[in-house]
Amino acid sequence: MTDAKYDVHTGSDIRDAAGLTQLAKLSVELILRLQDGTGAYPASPTFSAYRGYCWFRDGAFIADAMSAAGARDSAERFFDWCARILIDREAQIHDIVSQARSGNPVPDANMLPTRFTFAGGDGEDEWWDFQLDGFGTWLWAVAEHTRRYDTDLTRWSEAITLTVDYLTSSWHRPCFDWWEENADQVHVSTLACIAAGLDAVATNDSLDSELQRDALQTSASIRTTILKQGLSGGHLAKWLGSAAVDASTLSAVAPLGLFPAPGDIGGATLEAIDRSLNVDGGVHRYLADTFFGGGQWPLLSCFLGLGYAAQGDRNRALHQLSWAAATSDSTGALPEQVGQHLLDASMTQEWVDRWGPVAQPLLWSHAMFIRLAVEVGVLEVLPA
Ligand code: BGC
């Protein structure tokens, strides 16, 4: 990323209104430029451990940001990519669903992977596979996209049906979380992504009525489960039964809106995360994080900003956006995390030795920057 076109740091301060707008536009261009011909969004083009792979989680949030910014075709090409992957695995999904429904669920290793090669394969590299959240998030993003553009889900209905079956049959299984850790737990952010996705497609008229009913019943069960076991001190907890705070639960507040920001749980979650994980605008994943030393993640700063925006606090939202902007390098590339406030500095080198320097650019960081920039009016929706 040394393309002079992206030298955004000459000229205005990156944190001025003009600088923020410029970085948001650059982010859209960067994602368009790096989106694969297949529709896949690379997590990071350069980072050793992510190169060549696309995650449903990252990708769905990236597609949502591109959709919100007016890059409709880019988002749709990603949804087509998701749909192809799911349809190609139809037999596997049918097997997972029928085994789950007969009380004999398949082992984790037979569930869908978390990330895929651009061609849609599993890839050769070992990964912390079996994570459910991305399949919910893609449902949410595609439904949100059709709502935004006043169209319907027909183009993706076959893949949506498979996903709804997959999630309604398996939502309660423990799996790895957003951070690809703690596979033995049921994570609140994972549940929130699933419920938001099921709600979003079920309230869209393109689904068959039986499937709609299944989706709504499951999302209601998920809400009940979270209310009973997924709260601690009134805020969303890291996993069912845990008292810890995790910034991935910000997504349940905004943009997913499962526990809206003006409500008690949404408000308490923003407050708890602000109190324990937000340092000057830079948000940590969770207090015990040691990945690359446990730094601050600009994408999480933007999630918190989306929460503030949903509360009507534009100034705080803008502060979050500015903090994220300041993590960009001289080419405008946003990293996965920065090490200016580390939770465990003794762990940084171990990760650098293993995987090299922190991922930069990370497309998900750019996406959340775009999404918040649109929300606070720093980026006007681009002409389609
Ligand atoms: C993060 C995941 C993310 C992946 C690709 C991992 O380090 O924990 O949340 O999906 O990187 O960006």
The confidence score (pLDDT) of residue 204 equals 80
Average pLDDT of the residues in 355-381: 97
Percentage of the chain surpassing pLDDT 70? 96
The confidence score (pLDDT) of residue 206 equals 76
Rounded CA separation 366/23 (Å): 9
For the domain 35-229, what is the CATH code?
1.50.10.10
Give yes or no for residue 178 CB within 6 A of ligand 1: yes
Q: Is the pLDDT of residue 356 over 70?
A: yes
Q: Is the pLDDT of residue 196 over 60?
A: yes
Which pLDDT band, with edges at 50, 70 and 90, does 14 fall under? confident
297: β partners = 283
Which pLDDT band, with edges at 50, 70 and 90, does 1 fall under? very low
Rounded CA separation 93/109 (Å): 13
Å from CA of 55 to ligand 1 middle: 8
Give the pairing of strands 53-55 and 235-236: unpaired
Rounded CA separation 20/13 (Å): 9
Rounded CA separation 43/359 (Å): 9
Give yes or no for residue 56 CB within 6 A of ligand 1: no
Rounded CA separation 230/157 (Å): 31
pTM: 0.96
Give yes or no for residue 57 CB within 6 A of ligand 1: yes
Ligand 1 nearest-atom number relative to CA 179:
8
55: β partners = 115
In the numeric block, the tokens 């959340």 are attached to: 368
Q: Is the pLDDT of residue 3 over 80?
A: no
Q: Is the pLDDT of residue 159 over 60?
A: yes
Q: What is the pLDDT of residues 278-316, one digit of tens each?
A: 999 999 999 999 999 999 999 999 999 999 999 999 999
Q: What is the pLDDT of residues 82-115, one digit of tens each?
A: 999 999 999 999 999 999 999 999 999 999 999 9
Q: Is the pLDDT of residue 10 over 60?
A: no
The answer to whether residue 336 is catalytic is yes
The answer to whether residue 210 is catalytic is no
Å from CA of 43 to ligand 1 middle: 8
Å from CA of 177 to ligand 1 middle: 10
The 3-class SS string of the chain reads CCCHHHCCCCCCCCCCHHHHHHHHHHHHHHHHHHCCCCCCCCCCCCCCCCCCEEEHHHHHHHHHHHHHCCCHHHHHHHHHHHHHHHHHCHHHHHHHHHHHHCCCCCCHHHCCCCEEECCCCCCCCCCCCCCCHHHHHHHHHHHHHHHHCCCCCHHHHHHHHHHHHHHHHHCCCCCCCCCCCCCCCCEHHHHHHHHHHHHHHHCCCCCCHHHHHHHHHHHHHHHHHHHHHCEECCEECCECCCCCCCHHHHHHHCCCCCCCCCCHHHHHHHHHHHHHHEECCEECCCCCCCHHHCCEEHHHHHHHHHHHHHCCCHHHHHHHHHHHHCCCCCCCCCCCCECCCCCCHHHHHHHHHHHCCCCCCCHHHHHHHHHHHHHCCCCCCCCC
Ligand 1 nearest-atom number relative to CA 115:
10
Q: Best of 57, 129, 135, 365 to mutate for ligand 1, by most ligand atoms within 8 A of CB?
A: 57
Ligand 1 nearest-atom number relative to CA 181:
8
Atom 12 (ligand 1) nearest CA: 43
The answer to whether residue 177 is catalytic is yes
Which pLDDT band, with edges at 50, 70 and 90, does 60 fall under? very high
Q: Is the pLDDT of residue 235 over 90?
A: yes
Mean pLDDT value across the chain: 95
The confidence score (pLDDT) of residue 8 equals 52
Give yes or no for residue 289 CB within 6 A of ligand 1: no
Which pLDDT band, with edges at 50, 70 and 90, does 9 fall under? low
The confidence score (pLDDT) of residue 12 equals 59
Residue 116, both tokens: 């895929």
Domain ranges of the chain: 1-34+261-384, 35-229
Give yes or no for residue 176 CB within 6 A of ligand 1: no
Ligand 1 nearest-atom number relative to CA 285:
8
Percentage of the chain surpassing pLDDT 90? 92
Average pLDDT of the residues in 163-173: 98
The confidence score (pLDDT) of residue 383 equals 66
